[in-house]
Chain A
């Protein structure tokens, strides 16, 4: 049984081997390459001039890279979010990007010499105007929500957006974060494993607010012509999240990898991001954003913990969250 599986696999490899054109293997997150994600447009865009075959390989990013170690097939990895960069860097698998980052338009300093952001957004609570007349005007107002208003969030132990939320609260409240969670706890309807389950609960009317992104209303406005979903914008600021691209040090296609990294920062690539990724382009002036995107309400203040700060606070912030919500 086992040997026949292995044999089948080995045959596949033998037959698939050597192609005429060089192959650039890009590891991407699971959502990335589906026909609803940015993958297909990025693939055809790059192949149009690289003289190569860009192959996406999807799945869990960091766990897979860590398991493979030096043996990884990846040349480039796209989709590592800001909160896992410390652990990705620690793996020692990535090479310096060597790119000129002056084209970046993200609202935070980006001194990173290894990872290049390609999209960004902020965490935000989304509400439905038909169900909520007076959304909270500040993050602090989340502590005194009217009775019966419910919020659904993601678990910081299993979800990137859930982790961003506890870091957001930690960045605003520091050692008062536990008190914030205790005040919000009665309004938390439930906690889900992933973003998509939470969002499903919200759109089906089960919860009044959902932890999501400031860019979420864009999907409803542009794809569904639905103006009723809005982000509650808070003057305390919103937590910045970006997804990045990095080059594997042991790549056998260093030049192609460099060309891909450079291409990520070009307007051609960046213009794909908004409508395919439902997030903001990281290297495109607001004036050049696709139609409708410049009108999207965005917060004025951006909060961001550096990767060392976030890593230092992570365990404590998650434990405060867990303790307050376990009461």
Chain B
């Protein structure tokens, strides 16, 4: 019974997500009434979008491995705080992230000031390397955390066994780490690829101009400027198709490692040797500098504006927190149900897996426009601004939570599935005794990511917003439009602080309650 209930609920969740993504797209298309061909420049945009997303995702994943391994096998003071803090760039609203990166890598940024001090020629960040740099900055934290969770999920007993067998690091890597990465990295790659696929303001600003045009920019232009809905729907369809392709590839690339269950002790990785020590220090130090310097710059920029923040900032902040908490409360159970159903490999598991990636590929703008068209016959859209924002946030953050849960849910199923079945452990008791303790870490982390992402969302609210429903990102934008750049930087810092605070609270809960 309970199994069927899970399967049915999961199917319902998947159907709801698919509907939330595809119905607005269909509504936009229906309204447009035509399916236009690609226009001049679209080919170039598509090509740029694709290769920068591939390269950004590959680099993020590649760099994440040494950083996560170093964090997994070293103990040092402030390690926990560093891990949490290094997750922050992923949670930054894009405009804030760009400003932070420019403060470090820009023409008058820290690095070029240093180079000038040494009498060297300045480096320009603007161009394709800038786009990749920004995308790695934004997404490396996610990849590191996903890998780190993979390491922490390898039972401690396997490492002990490896040690007693006298495994060298290369052998540990071959027998333990590579199988684990095989399970974790494809999912991380897919999520980051799709995120970079739909990037737009970051790519344009750091890309230095129209060479860095992405498909998402063309969608924005079609919706906001040309009002060419057919074109918007067509381009959005192209994005969704690319995403489906990636989901299919990943589904076949993932392999669950057969480590077997452990006793749930903290993994004890011990490595010796100066060279490894140096390598790990370099990995952790390099990543910390790369990720934390721009964050510090954002903090410094925001501080002067904090002194006189208008009340609208606090009203916006409380609305944003409410939206974030509501979104999280809906996203986490939905993602958990999907992940459990997919790992039980029932009918349609592959399809559900693809559906869980789908929302990422859909343009927030097209989603917003479609929902507007759907809601409008029944109610004034501005009265629904906040509920619609919550609904869209749930759809947009579900893929992350799901991706974080799936590898560990698979391992849980492999390790404890038969034991649970033989004990006839089901329903709520199973959830309390098996699922929640085994999955607490990704659940907490996922809830944190979901809350933080919902704080920063802006794409959807533009069409619906009224004065009574302005969220904090919208207030920041209004301040900027009114020349209040210093106040805007202060408000952005509040936004970052709140996002990070929510993330920290959920993440800490997850780590406290984790069985491993």
Contact surface of A with B, Cβ cutoff 8 Å? 1-2, 5-6, 8-10, 12-13, 16, 30-31, 33-37, 56-60, 62-64, 66-68, 71, 73, 87, 150, 155, 157-158, 188-193, 195-197, 199-201, 203-207, 216, 219, 223, 278, 319, 321-322, 325-326
Contacts and interface: CB of A to CB of B under 8 A. Distances in A.
14 contacts: A9-B383, A9-B384, A34-B312, A36-B478, A37-B482, A59-B466, A191-B204, A193-B217, A196-B480, A197-B201, A206-B108, A219-B483, A319-B40, A326-B210
Contact of B484 (A1, A8, A36): A36
B260 to A, nearest CB: 40
B91 interface: no
B40 A10 contact: no
B467 A33 contact: yes
Interface in B465-492: 465-467, 470, 474-475, 477-485, 488
B102 A63 contact: no
Given A57-B466, A150-B107, A197-B95, A326 B482 contact: no
Contacts of A195: 481
Given A34-B467, A63-B223, A158-B225, 10 more contacts: A5-B387, A9-B387, A58-B467, A59-B463, A158-B220, A158-B224, A191-B210, A193-B201, A203-B485, A278-B482
A30 B477 contact: yes
Contacts of B382: 57, 59
B237 to A, nearest CB: 19
Nearest to A29: B481
Given A206-B107, A322-B41, A63 B224 contact: yes
B479 A36 contact: yes
Contact of B208 (A36, A189, A278): A189
B378 interface: yes
A205 B481 CA distance: 18
Nearest to A196: B480
Contacts of B26: none
Q: Which of B301, B330, B462 has the most chain A CB atoms inside 10 A of its CB? A: B462
Contact of B376 (A71, A203, A204, A325): A71
A216 B379 CA distance: 40
Interface in B374-411: 375-380, 382-384, 387-388, 391
A53 to B, nearest CB: 14
A195 B253 CA distance: 44
Given A1-B391, A59-B463, A199 B478 contact: no
A4 B375 CA distance: 13
Given A197-B98, A203-B485, A206-B108, A13 B383 contact: yes
Nearest to B377: A71
Q: Which of B205, B391, B464 has the most chain A CB atoms inside 10 A of its CB? A: B205
A216 B126 CA distance: 26
B51 interface: no
B103 A157 contact: no
A60 B477 CA distance: 13
Interface in B156-211: 200-201, 204-211
Given A58-B467, A63-B369, A193-B201, A158 B485 contact: no
A215 B223 CA distance: 29
A230 to B, nearest CB: 15
B387 A199 contact: no
A206 B376 CA distance: 43
Interface of B: 16, 31, 40-41, 44, 95, 98-99, 102-103, 106-109, 126, 200-201, 204-211, 213, 217, 220-221, 223-225, 227, 301, 310, 312, 330, 369, 372-373, 375-380, 382-384, 387-388, 391, 462-467, 470, 474-475, 477-485, 488
B483 A321 contact: no
B482 A6 contact: no
B482 A36 contact: yes
B223 A192 contact: no
B485 A199 contact: yes
Contacts of A188: 208-209
Contact of A56 (B95, B103, B205, B467): B467
B384 A5 contact: yes
A155 B210 contact: yes
B126 A189 contact: yes
Contacts of A193: 200-201, 204-205, 217, 220
Given A57-B382, A188-B209, A322-B41, A206 B102 contact: yes
Nearest to B122: A148
Nearest to B388: A5
Contacts of A200: 99, 480, 485
Contact of A190 (B205, B217, B383, B465): B205
Contacts of A67: 31, 369, 372-373, 376, 463
Q: Which of A6, A57, A200 has the most chain B CB atoms inside 10 A of its CB? A: A200
Nearest to B218: A157
Contacts of B373: 67
B87 to A, nearest CB: 25
A30 B474 contact: yes
Contact of B204 (A34, A192, A326): A192
A170 to B, nearest CB: 16
A12 B379 CA distance: 10
Nearest to A220: B483
Contacts of A192: 201, 204-205
Given A191-B204, A326-B211, A13 B98 contact: no
A1 B15 CA distance: 13
Nearest to A6: B378
A190 B464 contact: no
A189 B107 contact: yes
Q: Which of A34, A158, A200 has the most chain B CB atoms inside 10 A of its CB? A: A34
Given A155-B204, A322-B210, A35 B376 contact: no
Q: Which of B126, B210, B387 has the most chain A CB atoms inside 10 A of its CB? A: B210
Given A5-B387, A30-B474, A35-B312, A199 B483 contact: yes
Nearest to B130: A190
A257 to B, nearest CB: 19
A8 B378 CA distance: 12
Contacts of A207: 107
Contacts of B207: 190
Nearest to A191: B209
Contacts of B109: 206
Given A36-B482, A155-B204, A200-B485, A190 B209 contact: yes
A62 B227 contact: yes
A1 B372 CA distance: 17
Contacts of A219: 483
Contacts of B463: 59-60, 63-64, 67
Contacts of B330: 1
Contacts of A216: 483
Contact of B210 (A62, A63, A321): A321
A276 to B, nearest CB: 9
B208 A191 contact: yes
A212 to B, nearest CB: 10
A193 B214 CA distance: 12
A7 B23 CA distance: 20
Contacts of B227: 62-63, 66, 87
Contacts of B464: 59
B224 A325 contact: no
Contacts of A199: 480, 483, 485
A196 B481 contact: yes
A30 B462 contact: yes
Given A64-B463, A326-B210, A205 B221 contact: no
